């Protein structure tokens, strides 16, 4: 007769075994980040953050990530609401397309965007008529960051809409309010925390993007591209200081995300 392994016979052995299996993964996350944060000297960090190139790269990463988040809010909120509230033919396909950027290798994303909006394509030529350039431009960076960050916003806000009882919206409409008034007076006050949470996730993902950005716009440099350039040109030591400041920004976003998540769970 088949016997279960001993660690499944009782809760304590099972939990002990689970903890042992979890430790290597936790260490894999903690140790490299801890090493990265503690290795650079204070003087080197201060010297690095005073460099104009570093300041511009970090500022550009933050700016373009915020712009990508604003685009995601503008176009992603209606999409999230439709996916949460409507059933229609092809809905599963749309939901799959929203998740697709998460699974595609990001250099491929950059190549795909250039293949559609490059200088020699029809859309690229039309955009050039309005002095909008994709390759080697802020606009191109924002486009690829929106591509990689929007799924995190849409999925988070969609989950928020799904958690709101539909009867509340129906009650508002039965009292004579239109769809727009119902959304802003009933739905929005209950979903705005999900929107902030999704925005933070979108911004954090966009700031960290490298693969798609380096294809579309090596210059002007974002912080991840600058880190890569300094690593290839000068080695590990010179890239660590820039990486430290980017990690610090990411940690601030992470703390914000955790605080928002905790506040949402407490409600």
List, as one string, the DSSP characters of 73-118: HHHHHHHHHHHHH---TTHHHHHHHHHHHHHS-HHHHHHHHHHHHS
Distance CA 182, CA 163 (A): 16
37 closest CA partner among 257, 249, 208: 249
CA quadruple 142, 147, 152, 156: dihedral sign = positive
pLDDT of residue 9: 52
Q: Tell me the mean pLDDT in the region 247-253.
A: 87
pLDDT tens readout for residues 185-202: 889 989 998 999 999 999
Q: Can you read off the two tokens belonging to residue 237?
A: 């030591």
State pLDDT tens for residues 213-236: 999 999 999 999 999 999 999 888
Residues 6+ positions from 207 with CB-CB distance below 8 Å = 61, 62, 65, 223, 246, 249, 250, 253
Q: Is the pLDDT of residue 8 over 80?
A: no
Task: Give the three-class secondary structure for 217.
Answer: coil
How is residue 209 annotated by DSSP?
A: -
**pLDDT band at residue 146, thresholds of 50, 70 and 90?**
very high
Distance of CA 76 to CAs 101, 116, 123, 142, Å? 14, 21, 22, 15
Residues 6+ apart with CB under 8 A from 222: 57, 60, 61, 64, 141, 209, 210, 213
State the chain's mean pLDDT as an integer. 88
Two tokens, residue 52: 């104009």
> Which of 106, 130, 102, 128 is closest to 117 using CA atoms?
128
Identify the burial level of 165 via C-beta atoms within 10 angstroms of its C-beta, where 0-12 means exposed, 13-18 middle and 19 or more buried.
Answer: exposed
Domains and CATH numbers, the chain: 43-266 (1.10.3720.10)
Using pLDDT thresholds of 50, 70 and 90, give the confidence band for residue 10.
low
Whether 1 shows a pLDDT value over 80: the answer reads no
The answer to whether the CB of 110 falls within 8 A of the CB of 140 is: no
At residue 266, what are phi and psi to the nearest 5 degrees? -75, -20
The CA-based angle 109-115-116, given to 5 degrees, is 95
Task: Tell me the whole-structure pTM to 2 decimals.
Answer: 0.86
Token match 């988070």: residue? 156
143 and 216 in contact (C-beta within 8 Å)?
yes
Are 6 and 13 in contact, with CB atoms under 8 Å apart? yes
């Amino acid at each position: 007769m088949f016997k279960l392994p001993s660690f499944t016979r009782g809760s304590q052995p099972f939990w002990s075994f689970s903890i042992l299996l979890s430790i290597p993964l936790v260490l894999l996350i903690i140790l490299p980040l801890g090493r990265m944060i503690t290795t650079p000297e204070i003087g080197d960090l201060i010297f690095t953050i005073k460099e104009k190139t570093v300041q511009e790269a970090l500022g550009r990463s933050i700016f373009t990530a915020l712009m990508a988040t604003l685009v995601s809010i503008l176009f992603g909120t209606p999409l999230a609401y439709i996916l949460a509230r409507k059933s229609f033919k092809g809905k599963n396909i749309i939901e799959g397309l929203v998740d697709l950027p998460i699974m595609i290798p990001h250099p491929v994303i950059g190549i795909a965007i250039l293949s559609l909006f490059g200088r020699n394509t029809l859309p690229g030529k039309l955009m050039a008529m309005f002095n909008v350039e994709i390759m080697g431009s802020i606009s191109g960076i924002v486009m690829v960051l929106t591509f990689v960050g929007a799924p995190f916003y849409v999925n988070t806000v969609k989950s928020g809409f799904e958690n709101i009882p539909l009867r509340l919206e129906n009650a508002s409409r039965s009292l004579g309010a239109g769809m727009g008034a119902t959304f802003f007076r009933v739905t929005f006050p209950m979903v705005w925390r999900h929107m902030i949470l999704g925005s933070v996730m979108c911004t954090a993902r966009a700031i960290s993007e490298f693969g798609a950005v380096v294809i579309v716009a090596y210059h002007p440099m974002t912080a991840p591209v600058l880190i890569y350039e300094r690593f290839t040109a000068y080695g590990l030591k010179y890239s660590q200081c820039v990486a430290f400041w980017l990690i610090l920004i990411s940690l601030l976003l992470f703390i914000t995300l955790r605080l928002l998540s905790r506040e949402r769970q407490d409600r």
